[in-house]
Structure 1
Amino acid sequence: MSGPKANEPSDIPFTELVPDALISDALVELGKRGQKEDPDSSIDLDDMVGELVRFHKLDLAQKFLDIMVKAGIKFLGQKHPITLNWMANLGALYAEQEKYLEAAGLLQQALDRMKTLDNHPDLLYCKKFLIRAYKHLRYFEKAKSLVDKMISDERSHGENPENDHRVADMQLVLASIYEAQNLLDEARNITIQAIRVQAKMLGSRHRNTLASMRNLARLRYKEGRAEEAIQILSPFVTIMEQELGKDDPDTLFSKGDLALYFCQQGRQREAEVIHRQLLGMFRERFGSKHKHTSVCMENLSSTLVDLGECPEAEELQLQIIETRKSVLGGDHETTIISKTKLVYIRCRRGRHEEAKDLGEEVVEESRKVMGEDHINTLAALENLALTCERMGSFQKAVQIRKDVLERKRELFGKEDIETLRSEGCLAIAHAQHDGYREAKPMLMDVLEKMETLGAHHPNLISYSNNMAGLMLNEKHFKEAEEMMMGVLKAKRKVMGTGHPETISEMCNLALGYKEQGKLKEACSLMREAPELKFDQLGKGDPFTLVNQANQAYFFSLQDLVPDPIDRQRMEEGLGMLRQILKGMERTMDKHQKGRIECGKYITQIEELLKDGTEEQLDGSLGIDTISDQLAGRGNASSGASSTLYRSAKRHVSALETPEPALKKLRRSGDEINCPDES
């Protein structure tokens, strides 16, 4: 179509440019939500797109904005303020839909053209979304340069409360860039500075101040300080419910964060309840395919994995992958991250061949889409290494972990938490491949470095746990016992006495006692473990089943020390072990040590019942099994899940909660309303 240049949007012949079917689709969508269809009235596209955004129909909104931008360029000109407004809105929509490459390209064009005009009202709006796109694309220097320039410009206007407030907002954006780079100290210090200004200017109960406190809590969590994160966030969740409403997105996101922090403390059941409640609310508010709903579902999935309920977790993860394929595409970064998590779940379920095949596929996809050095590619590689370890391919696992460690040292530095975690995983892999004696210097060096994290940091606990298992295998009983007692104390404090990780550590220590002939001490320790529930026997993932087998085994032996034989107790324990073995046969490969050792436990108890003597208790039954299972578990929780549940992790980490949705379409002349960066 050709025609004269228009001066106003009303002069653009949108009735000819916008297909009737598209308008009908939009009216139907809005009509479902109480909007009236009036075919005789004229359509204000700005209003319609704004409503579509408000009701989270971003695909439809994007189609309208595509047409509006092209029409603006053709009829109003490339530098017309209205055209640039539409370009900024379209770029923001791309960013909101995680199409960051498209967003960055369009927003940079709009920004360059805005700079040629006098103080375009959308300049700040455009910059903030461009920074967000750069951050997710890991163009950190570009993002930081933009923010630094914005802060410098504001400060050049002199000190006054309004400028201080704007600088604080920009500092929070800068903190988010540091956080994305895992520079947590810098991010925390800047966030605290900004919160002080916000509390003074806006008050401690203002939405923005509350959002910043949520950011601070998340930073503490990422530093391994879940207890502090909960102390920071809990009172503010209550305030959010009072000030913003129980179903406000910021309130819901904060509750989701709180559930994640509960998980790090071993309060998975509480977290599960919260995640299920939130999932229902997100589905009702945003729909089943919205990214916030998928994030909430993924958080629930990761919690179920921790609880050993892997079949449901896998079912949820498959739903998430299909949703993201349909919304974002199969080669989108977020879709690939979801597949990385599926690899981990299948590995936890003992389906190692499936996990390995999918893991190799995900690594190649990650390299192609995100690059060799992207944090999510490294996470995919670590999941693949974990799978190789579970399959006994230690040489391949060592090589993968060496490559990952080298890249993390370049990306984050030698003392970073991520680097230390990967170094610890490599040391354990070396020990599994070469033996404890050869790997001991490296193991101890990593342990010394990790101690700087603090006695109760999850990474240190996990690493110490694996170290102790290796020491047991090599018969270094005194060293192993001291380390295991320290780990057990830390796990009881951080996770609680009933957490599966705590129970596994009790089993490991008890088996260490038994290996040294200290059956009395072993049985005494296992009396402190929570009682097994018969209706739960044989249910759960391999890690849970190994715990059950060890508990049932020591249950059988409880009265063996004071009374040479208690047939009733042994027969009851034997029944438990048989029930657990049936569960293992459903979920574990016949060559997995846990399943083999459970069979040996059964044979041993049967022999005791037959002979009535303790001779069958000599030997090292269970030690290799448990330390192997714990080593795998430790690598998983400190490796895959941290990235899992951190990157993404990105790794909507670790799982991270999503950034707030686009609040409204930006209109030329409107008051600036930039999205929160959290």
Structure 2
Amino acid sequence: MGADHPHTALASANLAATYSKLGRYSEAERLEVEVLKQRTNSLGVDHPDTILASTNLADTYRQLGRFDEAERLEVEVLKQRTSVLGVDHPHTILASANLAATYCQLGRYIEAEALEIKVLEQRKRLLGVDHPETILALSNLAGTYRELGRYTESEILEVEVLEYRTKLLGCDHPDTILASANLAATYYQLGRYADAKGLEEQVLKQRVKFLGANHPDTISASANLATTYSQLGQHAEAEVLKVEVLEQRTKLLGADHPDTIVASTNLAATYSKLGRYEEAERLQADVLEQSKALLGEEHPDTIRASANLATSYRQLGRYAEAEKLEVKVLEQRINLLGAEHPSTILASSNLAATYSALGRYAETERLEDEVLKQRTKSLGVEHLETIRASANLAVTYGKLGKYAEAEQLEVVVLKQRIELLGANHPDTIRASSNLATTYSQLGRDSEAEPLQLEVLDQRRRLLGDNHPSTILASGNLAATYHALGRYAEAEALQVEVLQKRRELLGDRHPDTIASICWLASTYKMTQRYSEALEFAKRAYDSYVATFGEGHSTAQSAARFIASLENESSVKCG
């Protein structure tokens, strides 16, 4: 028949479709490019088979993460099908749905929503509510609502989709499994992590069974479950899955595919949770460069990469770099998503955290108060993100000396987290730690000590002795021993904390410098003035080098040195 015969082109198209179903998109693309050329030459650009070839190639471009190329083809396909077949023809409606999917991948959710609402209305009218294509339209719109942060609307639609598909297709049909995965994603966004985990574990089992361990959908199921493990504080289990996902995606899709980049981002997040900040920063810096090159500066994924890198900078004590990125992220998200979108609110929260690290507590309070109001309005008082906003504001109240207000919030936060997450979840332990700190600030050290002992024990057991959160717990307990006049116990812990922070964070990290200050204070209380003065001067020099002479930490260290010199001279005299 020859290479240009229509039957040859059809055979190539069929083989390409098989490659796509197997997740072998690069092989599918090569065939589809050739099919499109053949059909354009032999049939013309407006022939239905040529338009179908354009549609298939656009879908493969989308799967390969080449969304601009997909959009160009899909816009043309929609025009052709509208002109040739009419607005209500099934193929025209499908072209609208495909273009909407690409708009979602490009972060253009408002444009996607408008198309998807139209597609859903057409399919209900023409096919009925129980038709698989109508249910698919319902599912697509639910996904867009999720991306727009409209999680309650998303959940309503996704429960409906899962019920339809279970009834019509059975529990093990791929579309039913996808509906479960989508509903799990919305549960995740609503903070219902236990519900999400139950669905995701089932989805992963089904996909391994029916598709194999290396199918892209199976890998996505692993990635989703790993992210939920992270939210539940199961970071070791999350790391195992995330490393595996990154290896699989790199092998199957290449290092620059958007899904591979997301896998790197997710693994970096787990490294941060495990206190491995330098590993996290290296991954996130790579992700940001890849996202800029592939998606552009204004794509939501690029902005997210900037936000993640800023978080690593903050964790490494590089606050000026963090602030610069976070201010830009907040501006971009306000422009692209609006002030009330969850991602915009998260950007405000992150910037507030950096302002706090820089000692700019009034600015921190202003942002955090607004974040709490927005979270309460959009998510309700029991959502984990609302609770986190309360916890952050309480810490800032403590920094501003508003201890009674801090205690009031922290008692509520601890109660909510015990009920929602359990006593051993990292966020619950953090709530105990924060309340203990407030008790100390109120001079109620005898109430702080038992909480801090429990926190230290939990963190040692869950995270290990060398995790930054465990080290912080040791430092907090040491501070309480210091306040109670138990200086020998305080010193033993402080020496250990300083040594570990030097090893993990380096001499210039603010947490390391703070440890030097605490040890200097303990030396002072035990009248070891020469050692206290040596450590205080070392802390002052480090603060000046890190923040400058005018920073509050440097000025505080200078005052402490002056008091030491005065007191030691009085003692000597």
1:573 corresponding residue in structure 2: 493
Change in Cα spacing, 1:293 to 1:525, as seen in structure 2 (3 Å) is: same
Are residue 457 (structure 1) and residue 383 (structure 2) matched? yes
Q: SS of the counterpart of 1:79?
A: coil
Please show how residues 238-277 of structure 1 align to structure 2 within 5 Å: 238-277=205-244
Displacement of 1:473 after TM fit? 4.1
Change in Cα spacing, 1:236 to 1:107, as seen in structure 2 (3 Å) is: closer
Q: Percent identity?
A: 23
User: Within 2, Cα distance between the matches of 1:451 and 1:127?
Assistant: 34
User: Within 1, Cα distance between the matches of 2:375 and 2:252?
Assistant: 46
CA contact (8 A) 2:432 2:451 kept: yes
Q: What TM-score do you get using the length of structure 1 for normalisation?
A: 0.65
Displacement of 1:71 after TM fit? 6.0
Are residue 132 (structure 1) and residue 101 (structure 2) matched? yes
Structure 1 residue runs of 5 or longer lacking an equivalent are 1-7, 15-41, 399-424, 432-441, 612-678
Displacement of 1:293 after TM fit? 2.7
CA contact (8 A) 2:64 2:253 kept: no
CA contact (8 A) 2:456 2:473 kept: no
The letter of the residue matching 2:4 is S
Are residue 529 (structure 1) and residue 465 (structure 2) matched? no
1:173 corresponding residue in structure 2: 140
CA contact (8 A) 1:389 1:429 kept: no
CA displacement 1:274-300 (0-9 Å, x = unmatched): 212333333444444443332222111
CA displacement 1:341-377 (0-9 Å, x = unmatched): 212211221112333455567789x699x85859778
CA contact (8 A) 1:91 1:106 kept: yes
CA contact (8 A) 2:456 2:470 kept: no
Are residue 429 (structure 1) and residue 429 (structure 2) matched? no
Q: SS of the counterpart of 1:78?
A: coil
CA contact (8 A) 2:464 2:470 kept: no
User: Within 2, Cα distance between the matches of 1:363 and 1:476?
Assistant: 28
Are residue 600 (structure 1) and residue 517 (structure 2) matched? yes
Please show how residues 248-327 of structure 1 align to structure 2 within 5 Å: 248-321=215-288, 323-324=290-291
Displacement of 1:50 after TM fit? 5.3
Change in Cα spacing, 1:377 to 1:74, as seen in structure 2 (3 Å) is: farther
1:648 corresponding residue in structure 2: none
2:446 corresponding residue in structure 1: 520
Change in Cα spacing, 1:203 to 1:383, as seen in structure 2 (3 Å) is: same
Q: What TM-score do you get using the length of structure 2 for normalisation?
A: 0.75
1:505 corresponding residue in structure 2: 431
Structure 2 residue runs of 5 or longer lacking an equivalent are 529-573
2:407 corresponding residue in structure 1: 481
- Pairwise CA RMSD of aligned residues? 4.3
Change in Cα spacing, 1:335 to 1:61, as seen in structure 2 (3 Å) is: farther
CA displacement 1:426-464 (0-9 Å, x = unmatched): xx2368xxxxxxxxxx67x95697288455422222222
Are residue 83 (structure 1) and residue 47 (structure 2) matched? no
Displacement of 1:382 after TM fit? 6.6
User: Within 1, Cα distance between the matches of 2:292 and 2:114?
Assistant: 34
Displacement of 1:208 after TM fit? 0.8
CA contact (8 A) 1:301 1:317 kept: yes
User: Within 2, Cα distance between the matches of 1:91 and 1:382?
Assistant: 38
The letter of the residue matching 2:498 is R
Larger RCO, structures 1/2 (Cα 8 Å, 6+ apart): 1
1:219 corresponding residue in structure 2: 186
CA contact (8 A) 1:352 1:387 kept: yes
CA contact (8 A) 2:314 2:354 kept: yes
CA contact (8 A) 1:581 1:599 kept: no
CA displacement 1:368-393 (0-9 Å, x = unmatched): 9x858597788767755654553346
CA displacement 1:104-128 (0-9 Å, x = unmatched): 3321211222234459885565333
User: Within 2, Cα distance between the matches of 1:477 and 1:295?
Assistant: 41
Q: Choose which of 64, 67, 87 in structure 2 pairs with 1:100.
A: 67
Q: SS of the counterpart of 1:228?
A: helix
Change in Cα spacing, 1:525 to 1:147, as seen in structure 2 (3 Å) is: closer
Change in Cα spacing, 1:218 to 1:585, as seen in structure 2 (3 Å) is: closer
User: Within 2, Cα distance between the matches of 1:236 and 1:65?
Assistant: 31
The letter of the residue matching 1:484 is E
1:468 corresponding residue in structure 2: 394
CA displacement 1:6-57 (0-9 Å, x = unmatched): xx98269x9xxxxxxxxxxxxxxxxxxxxxxxxxxx9975467557756767
User: Within 2, Cα distance between the matches of 1:232 and 1:113?
Assistant: 41
Displacement of 1:587 after TM fit? 6.6
User: Within 1, Cα distance between the matches of 2:110 and 2:431?
Assistant: 44
User: Within 1, Cα distance between the matches of 2:247 and 2:382?
Assistant: 34
CA contact (8 A) 2:187 2:195 kept: yes
CA contact (8 A) 1:328 1:335 kept: yes
The letter of the residue matching 2:217 is D
CA contact (8 A) 2:494 2:515 kept: no
